[in-house]
Chain A
């Protein structure tokens, strides 16, 4: 199969699976809260719906940046699919993609001109200070395996066992990163309901569709990276089971915890990052 077909196949899979997983998360949360909840495919239906809705552009929006930012978000997460399942490239590239995601989140909020978007934009910078240190996990993985290439990390795990067992605190740190990106998470301050929908508030119709499309791929990719890096090469069914388990676990946490205020959110993540980094280094040394 040629590269373009491979990319297309993986992007469609990641979008569909990511959407269904985000729907599953809402369903699990609803059942915990004694509500019937939406159908599992609700997130996917929402995404399709937005692609068919009329697009409106606020007068305060900074054109053409306001439109371009949604395309950029799509591009970076499609790039993540290429770096991940398609080529099994470097984790450093994935870090770069995540860093750009934070910048895009920031600029999507500021370019809309909405006060809610601007607050979200400030929070995106604020939360980056907490989330980006969690990527210290990459250094720990490098110190343990001697490589940043995903395919080599999988080979290492085939020979030495899953990294989840040898560097569990690094896995915990990455899990916190996943948690922070899930909707309704205690750390999801950029989309806290006190600021309506955060940086997405003023993106309507087609543009919102692009944002939701990217969110689905982002969720799939974060789970894919976690499973690949900490458990090793799985078959598609193994990945699916792993993703469903993590999504359900995240839904439990989200259903039972309120969204923290920005200060508490950042300080909690920084504390977890500190414990994770120091603990992992100690585990590596002894």
Chain B
């Protein structure tokens, strides 16, 4: 049953993060996604978020559900940005975190 409570926590993190990302990105960007620049703040959030979700065992002092919930929240902020924005940042964040996951679980 605790699984379901954690599951709800992650979903709520995702929804709240998406709404926050949408609101902030509409304030920050006044025009549609045309210039394909990378947003540094979004990139940092995406890398930290994906890192926390995929590599939560590396942080053993915090309970895993807290780490994952924070990670999902950060990922959702970037994914939930105004359409088009956050796309490259998400891919880079996922790739870096995935690389560390492979190093951690498969190679080492």
Q: Which A residues contact B (CB, under 8 angstroms)?
A: 1, 6, 9-10, 12-13, 16-17, 20, 36-41, 44-45, 235-236
The A interface, classified by DSSP as helix, strand, loop or mixed, is helix
Q: Is the CB of B22 within 8 A of A236?
A: no
Q: Is the CB of B4 within 8 A of A20?
A: no
Q: Is the CB of B80 within 8 A of A20?
A: no
B40 → A minimal CB distance (Å): 22
- Give A44 to B76 CA distance when docked, in angstroms: 14
Q: Is the CB of A39 within 8 A of B8?
A: no
B90 → A minimal CB distance (Å): 12
CB within 8 A of A40: which of B3, B18, B82?
Answer: B18
CB within 8 A of B15: which of A9, A10, A38, A41?
Answer: A41
CB within 8 A of B22: which of A1, A36, A41?
Answer: A41
- Give A39 to B33 CA distance when docked, in angstroms: 13
CB within 8 A of A13: which of B8, B32, B84?
Answer: B8
Q: Is the CB of B14 within 8 A of A20?
A: yes
Q: Is the CB of B15 within 8 A of A16?
A: yes
Determine if B24 is an interface residue (Cβ-Cβ < 8 Å): no
- Give A40 to B83 CA distance when docked, in angstroms: 9
Q: Which B residues contact A (CB, under 8 angstroms)?
A: 1, 3-5, 7-8, 11-12, 14-15, 18-19, 22, 32-33, 79-80, 82-84
Write 9 A-B pairs (CB below 8 A) sorted by A numbering.
A9-B4, A10-B4, A13-B11, A36-B33, A39-B82, A40-B80, A41-B22, A45-B19, A235-B3
A89 → B minimal CB distance (Å): 17
A236: chain B residues at CB < 8 Å are: 3-4, 7
Q: Is the CB of B11 within 8 A of A16?
A: yes
B32: chain A residues at CB < 8 Å are: 36
The B interface, classified by DSSP as helix, strand, loop or mixed, is helix
Q: Is the CB of A9 within 8 A of B8?
A: yes
Select from chain A the residue with minimum beta-carbon distance to B8.
Answer: A13
B18: chain A residues at CB < 8 Å are: 39-41
A38-B1 CB under 8 A given contacts A9-B8, A16-B12, A44-B15: no
A211 → B minimal CB distance (Å): 20
Select from chain A the residue with minimum beta-carbon distance to B16.
Answer: A41
A1: chain B residues at CB < 8 Å are: 1
Select from chain A the residue with minimum beta-carbon distance to B33.
Answer: A36
A12-B8 CB under 8 A given contacts A36-B32, A36-B83: yes
Q: Is the CB of B19 within 8 A of A41?
A: yes
B19 → A minimal CB distance (Å): 7
- Give A24 to B33 CA distance when docked, in angstroms: 19
